[in-house]
Structure 1
Amino acid sequence: MRRRRFLAAGIGMAAAVAGCGTERFPAGAGDARGAYEIVAGGERWERVTRAFAGAAGEAGFAGRGPVRITVTGLPALAAAELNHGESLMDTATPLARLAGEVVVVVVPATSRFRSFDEFGAHLLARPGETPLAGGPQGEPDHLLFGLIAKGLGADTRQVDYTGYRSSAEAATALRAGRAAAAAGALADWRGPIRRGAVRVLAVSCARRFPGVDAPSLLESGIRVDFANWCAAVGPGAMPEDRRASAVRMCEEVTGSPSWQRACEAGGWVRIPLAGDDFRAWLDSEVRRTKAVLRDLGLVETSGGTTCWGSCGNGH
């Protein structure tokens, strides 16, 4: 497997500390119960950040205050590991997990793989002869295929994966026969799914997803519960009183009808987890991400993987 350095998503880590190069979204105005300036840790987080800031404003939390909260997530965490940078646990104060994108494994409508079991059997027997596609190397789609390969017992370093900048490019690779299967956010693949251009073999979360006629990975025998998640973090060394207030704000906002409506409109799954529980989960997610990147041959690191996953079901 070819190795290279990965720089594209690293902005999320720096933004968590300094807010440099971030898009700012005031959380509201009027009588404030707490002043929070909510910023996106990179372009990829702007939509969810705007939605979170809007829900915070409706809940009565005013913007442009002394406390800055950054929305970042799994791709930035992986980028830090790929670039041997400091992890999110070192550079920021974890506050709360917010939402996630369910990832689907798809094949062309004409694929010989009629089920995930058939696909999995081929990947197990011939990992180097099962070309896979998705988003950029080292990002969530690639991580998911690494977890699937490991769950099957396949030689993970032999996985043949090509990363593309968009789901449209990955779909082109499927149509052209350059990939046998692809992974990506369900929202990005809904069009090809509706048109019958691709079939969904499995969804990444713990249970079947409403409206998708496909089993979960867990149902298919792969102990993976996964989402491309995003979270709210504060600056490093955040005073405990401010951290506690910010955690309470996140809990209230993520439990609000406004946030539920925003997630439904955005195609995100609500996976709220806050405070110490989120900190413990994030520590495990950092270790799991390091392990799968190592298994894929992208980094050299130590430590074991954890089977429980990113969707947060039951955690």
Structure 2
Amino acid sequence: MRRQQFLHGMAALALAGGLPFSARAASTLKMMIPANPGGGWDTTGRALGRALVEAGAADAVQYENKGGAAGVLGLAQFAQGAKGDPQALMMMGAVMVGGLITAKPPVQLQSCTPVARLTSEYNVFVVPAASPLRSMKDVVEQLKREPASVRWGGGSRGATEHIAACMLARNVGVDPKKVNYVAFRGGGEAVSAILGGNVTVGGSGYSEFAEHIAAGKMRAIGVTSQKRLPGLAVPTLKEQGWDVVIGNWRGVYGAPGISGEQRAELADSVVKATRTKAWQEALAKNGWTPSLSTGKDFEDFVEYEFSSLRAIMYLSGML
């Protein structure tokens, strides 16, 4: 009888939120991925989910994809539907920051709860293997002759690859407003467009193109990093003569209205997840650079990113 009373008491505490997040039995985390399947956020979110399970922070993770508008549609759904839920997480990153700056939607990121930055990644530009354009120099020459003829494919408007294309145009004396950028709702759509020759140049994180580059279906022609990426024999745009350096990063936010204690528990779970074998394997497989940050450091970083990206986008003629 005592055991039964104890179990009933524990269950009541868990339902009331009285037990620590990590102590709740049969916990299921809900992961909002504000993009279509197959892209960087999707890959990162599912890798984090596996790591959270391996770390014992959850028994299972339930994923929901909601693509569109640089993650803004998923953000709106998450902000409305997950209020006060301490077991809800949302993937986000530099792409969402850029989308929020350009779209200025009614729902802002500040309504949700910052938890942790996870990774950093630079953009790789690629052309289809059959493209007559063999290098970024070829692309630039065509861009200067006829800007509209170069179709740049990538994530949503305001994504880092979009900003990089505008920065490059400005560097070579082309009006950034003439950049013919084709936005896709997810990495899978962008990859299909590149392989099908429906865009001239594609841009994204290396992890989204890696298998196609390795298989010889895409040719990498430039990276937006300061120095060459380890293990990737692709010249940076800077070493090719254009001052274009911009990085992508990804992180997670919690639901609106959770307590400081619940936020700290989520951050602690994410930190534990990043120490697992599953997460380390994901970093190596996808070429992600770990850049873990939590608490006020992460908050300050996001605030800086808003001001920094806004300035870059203004100078690039996007605002």
> TM exceeds 0.5?
yes
Of 236, 242, 261, which residue of structure 1 is paired with 2:256? 236
Verify the 8 A CA contact 2:127 2:219 in the aligned structure 1: yes
Matches within 5 A, 1:1-315: 37-44=29-36, 45-62=41-58, 66-86=86-106, 88-100=108-120, 102-108=122-128, 115-116=135-136, 119-120=139-140, 123=143, 125-126=144-145, 128=147, 131-140=150-159, 141-150=161-170, 154-164=174-184, 165-173=189-197, 179=200, 181-220=201-240, 221-227=242-248, 229-265=249-285, 268-294=288-314, 300=319
Verify the 8 A CA contact 1:167 1:184 in the aligned structure 2: no
Q: What letter is aligned with 2:202?
A: A
Q: What letter is aligned with 1:214?
A: V
CA shift at 1:163, angstroms?
3.5
Verify the 8 A CA contact 2:194 2:202 in the aligned structure 1: yes
Q: Which runs of 5+ in 1 are unaligned?
A: 1-28, 301-315
TM-score (norm 1): 0.67
Residues 269-304 of structure 1 deviation map (CA, whole Å, 9 limit, x = unaligned) = 433222222222212222344445555655x4xxxx
Distance in 2 (alpha carbons) for counterparts of 1:294 and 1:259 = 36
Identity among equivalent pairs (%): 23
Verify the 8 A CA contact 1:69 1:233 in the aligned structure 2: yes
Q: Is the alpha carbon distance of 1:120 and 1:68 closer, same or farther for their aligned partners in structure 2, counting shifts above 3 Å?
A: same
Distance in 2 (alpha carbons) for counterparts of 1:294 and 1:127 = 23
Question: In terms of Rg, which structure is larger?
Answer: 2
CA shift at 1:232, angstroms?
1.0
Verify the 8 A CA contact 1:104 1:186 in the aligned structure 2: yes
Distance in 2 (alpha carbons) for counterparts of 1:162 and 1:69 = 29
Distance in 2 (alpha carbons) for counterparts of 1:46 and 1:297 = 30
Q: What letter is aligned with 1:51?
A: A
Q: Is the alpha carbon distance of 1:56 and 1:137 closer, same or farther for their aligned partners in structure 2, counting shifts above 3 Å?
A: closer
| Secondary structure at 2:117 match in 1 | strand
Distance in 2 (alpha carbons) for counterparts of 1:163 and 1:37 = 31
TM-score (norm 2): 0.66
Q: What letter is aligned with 2:55?
A: A
Residues 99-152 of structure 1 deviation map (CA, whole Å, 9 limit, x = unaligned) = 3554211235576765445644664x4572561321255052323312333455
CA shift at 1:39, angstroms?
1.3
Higher RCO structure (Cα 8 Å, ≥6 apart): 2
More helix by share: 2
Distance in 2 (alpha carbons) for counterparts of 1:105 and 1:203 = 6
TM-align CA RMSD: 3.6
Q: What letter is aligned with 2:58?
A: A
**Bigger mean CA offset, 279-288 vs 63-72:** 63-72
Verify the 8 A CA contact 2:97 2:305 in the aligned structure 1: no
CA shift at 1:233, angstroms?
0.6
Q: Is the alpha carbon distance of 1:158 and 1:167 closer, same or farther for their aligned partners in structure 2, counting shifts above 3 Å?
A: same
Distance in 1 (alpha carbons) for counterparts of 2:96 and 2:260 = 25
